[in-house]
Amino acid sequence: MRPKRPTIVAVDRKYEGNRISLRVDTARFEDGPEFDREIVEHPGSVVLVPVTDDGHVLLIRQYRLAAERFLLEASAGTREAGESPEVTAHRELQEEVGYKAGKLISIGGSWVAPGYSSEYTHAYIATDLEPAALPSDDGEDIAVEEVSFDDIERLITTGELEDQMSIAALLTAKYVFTERIKDKK
């Protein structure tokens, strides 16, 4: 038996921001009672796994106000209005990592937190990298760190890599590269 889809009976917009908005949806299942869900509206994002010619991954480290700590992450960013995920990926790679990708490989995507957010993230591997930095966004101070694919699992299990979006993209990218190596043998 499939779960039922609720009917939205009211939408109350609470906040309209530059990057996100908040609404409260009132819904119900058929003749059941009404219930509220707080929804963070987000235009969507991208996450990138830039891979150097020698097979290393370029990650970024920056201070995150919400987490109140420095986090090691894959480069990521929010889509601008009307911007395709590929355009966002190229822009973010240049702004945060300082490189231009000769090749961008889609490796799927995922919902960030579908229980309360509309944000969907498109994931990419970026290869054939060439230096081509763009200015960082205001409020960003980013350090680029080069790590081996072999270190990804250790960074996750030791807690040095804690960002879910980054973990998902890095493990997917590692799987994709492992499968390509197997296919070449």
> What residue ranges do the domains of the chain occupy?
7-41, 45-184
185 — pLDDT class (breaks 50, 70, 90): low
User: Which comes out higher in pLDDT, residue 69 or 138?
Assistant: 69
Q: Which superfamily is assigned to 45-184 in CATH? A: Nucleoside Triphosphate Pyrophosphohydrolase (3.90.79.10)
CA distance 88 to 47: 9
**3-class SS of residue 167:** helix
135 — pLDDT class (breaks 50, 70, 90): confident
Beta partners for 57?
Answer: 51, 147
User: Which comes out higher in pLDDT, residue 20 or 133?
Assistant: 20
**3-class SS of residue 155:** helix
- Mean of the per-residue pLDDT values of the chain: 94
Residue 104 pLDDT: 97
- pLDDT (tens digit per residue) in 105-130: 999 999 999 999 999 999 999 999 99
Confirm whether pTM is higher than 0.75: yes
